[in-house]
Amino acid sequence: MNNQPHVAIVGATGAVGREMLICLSERNFPLSKLTLLASVRSAGQKLTFRGEEITIQELSADSFEEIDIALFSAGGGISEKFGPVAAEAGCVVIDNSSAFRMDPAVPLVVPEINPDAAAIHPRNIIANPNCSTIITLMGLAPLHRAFGLKGIIASTYQAVSGSGAQGIAELENQVQALASGAPIEKQIYPHQIAHNVIPHVDAFQDSGYTKEEQKMLHEGRKILGLPDLKVTCTCVRVPVMRSHSISLTAIFEKDPSVAEAQAVFANSPGIKLVDDPASALYPVPLDTTGQDDCLVGRIRKDQVLPNAIALWVVGDQVKKGAALNAVQIAELL
């Protein structure tokens, strides 16, 4: 890989694409050239990067001939169509969709957890995990290394920005409608999201779990290298603009004390301990929004299961849960 690679962002005008642009700039990523790609609707628009205006080009099969690394954030259908095309052209694709995550030949990478996995990518594709999975495992991987993870019981509290700009607009419109007495309109969510929570993220499966809930199981097993990891998860949409929160009960081989679990996070990259409930200090979404690190707190012994710890993890799903993680993978390359 060239030390000054030519990088492309596919889906540059979307929320995650724009956040990728910010991450590349903030981290002073060493690129020789940046190409921005999007649909025909966005072609010709300009975005600013390091003080320079870059014109967005229409995505096509010929877009990748001189690209070294392509950060994809344009949805699974675009990734399935253009990801293999880019890879065939010699470009390494870092894909933010679910299209390739469970392909045995495609590594699924969180750089703080399994960086070595990025080194072997026979299809020239590396997958970015689901945002909730990333945030959850940022809190659990350090504990796993210390105590041996066996199982997870999780409930996610997922912000509306996880549904894109339309999710944000729906919450804003409904809050305004409630304030003015206007009728509530629902387009993105099956129920009113303002002043409400909805235990329904992604499509329901025959098992009764949603696809989003099953991602925690399948992706967690792959990233941690734990094929027998047991996971049960409930994913809930909440009226929060940005940053996902996860309530966790984690079951281990060893029996950690609260102090031992807290000590694990002292030297864990990408995560900070915020755990002083007596002073009302614990992770909340507003404190992680726009931040690189995930926050962990409310660490306590589980009162039902042996060798189990309860904890609360919060992270910006647009940043660490998507854009930043992809840029960190590019840094590994």
For the chain, domain boundaries: 6-128+323-332, 133-317
Nearest in space to 133 (alpha carbons), one of 205, 73, 201: 201
pLDDT tens for 58-69 read 999 999 999 999
Q: What is the average pLDDT value for the chain, to the nearest integer? A: 96
Write out the catalytic residue numbers. Answer: 131, 244
Question: What local confidence, expressed as pLDDT, does residue 1 receive?
Answer: 64
3-state secondary structure 158-196: ECHHHHCHHHHHHHHHHHHHHHHCCCCCCCCCCCCCCCC
Q: Look up residue 83 and give its two tokens.
A: 């990801």
Is the pTM for the entire model greater than 0.75?
yes
Question: What local confidence, expressed as pLDDT, does residue 267 receive?
Answer: 86
The domain 6-128+323-332 is placed in CATH, from the list 3.40.50.720, 1.10.1750.10, 3.40.50.1820, 3.40.109.10, at 3.40.50.720
Characterize the bridge pairing of strands 308-315 and 294-301.
antiparallel
Give 320's DSSP letter: I
Distance of alpha carbon 317 from alpha carbon 32, whole angstroms: 28
Separation in Å, CA 262 to CA 9, 139, 286: 38, 11, 22
pLDDT tens for 137-160 read 999 999 999 999 999 999 999 999
Average pLDDT over residues 213-234: 98
Q: Let me know if the fold of 6-128+323-332 is the same as that of 133-317.
A: no
What dotted CATH number matches 133-317? 3.30.360.10
3-state secondary structure 71-88: EECCCHHHHHHHHHHHHH
Distance of alpha carbon 284 from alpha carbon 274, whole angstroms: 10
The contacts of residue 102 (CB under 8 Å, 6+ apart) are 108, 218, 219, 222
